[in-house]
Amino acid sequence: MQLTHIDETGQAAMVDVANKAVTIREAKAQAIVKMQANTLALICQNQLKKGDVLAVARIAGIQAAKKTADLIPLCHPLALSKVAVEFNVDELNSTIQINSYCKLAGQTGVEMEALTAVSVASLTMIDMCKAVDQAMTVDSLCVTYKTGGQRGTYQRSNEELVNE
C-alpha cells in the first residue's frame, strides 16, 4: 500500500481530495486516563481547585477537534457537523475512558479529529489534576470506529480495546 501523504518524489504533500465524492463520514476514538483513586474521587466530587475537570475537558476536546488542521500537518480543514466528547468513569481501575464522536458530509475522513478530541481532553484532565497526581497516564489512544469514504466501515474489535 502506498502512503497518501507522499508525492512522487518522496516529499510530504497534502492529498488532493477535490475529485472525491462527498459522503457522510463519522469517526469515534477513545483514550483512557489512569490516575490514583483519590484523584478520581476528587474529579467525581468536583473538588479540584481548577474547577470541573470533566466539563473543561469536554470543551477542550470539542475545540481541539475543530482545530485539528492547525495542529496536524497535512490535515484538511473540515466543516464538522457534530463533535461529542463523553466520559466513562471506572472506579475499580481508577480510570476515565474518554470517547469522542465526529461527523461531517465531506471528501475526507474525520479520524484525526476524533483522535485529537480525546488527546486534548486527556491532556486537559492531566493539566487540571497534576497538582494532586503527577503519575497520571494516557493509554489506549485509538480510533474505535470509522465509516464513509472508499475504505468503508472500520470497527475495532473488543479484543483490540484494552482497558488495563
Residues with catalytic annotation? 127
Alpha carbon distance, N-terminus to C-terminus of the chain: 32
Place of cell 474489535: 157
Q: Give the DSSP letter string of 97-164.
A: EEEEEEEEEESS--HHHHHHHHHHHHHHHHHHHTTT-TT-EEEEEEEEEEE-STT--EE--TTT----
Closest Cα partner for 128 from 50, 43, 39?
50
Give me 74's grid cell: 497535512
Give me 35's grid cell: 490516575
CA pair distance 164, 158, nearest whole angstrom = 13
CA pair distance 2, 109, nearest whole angstrom = 18
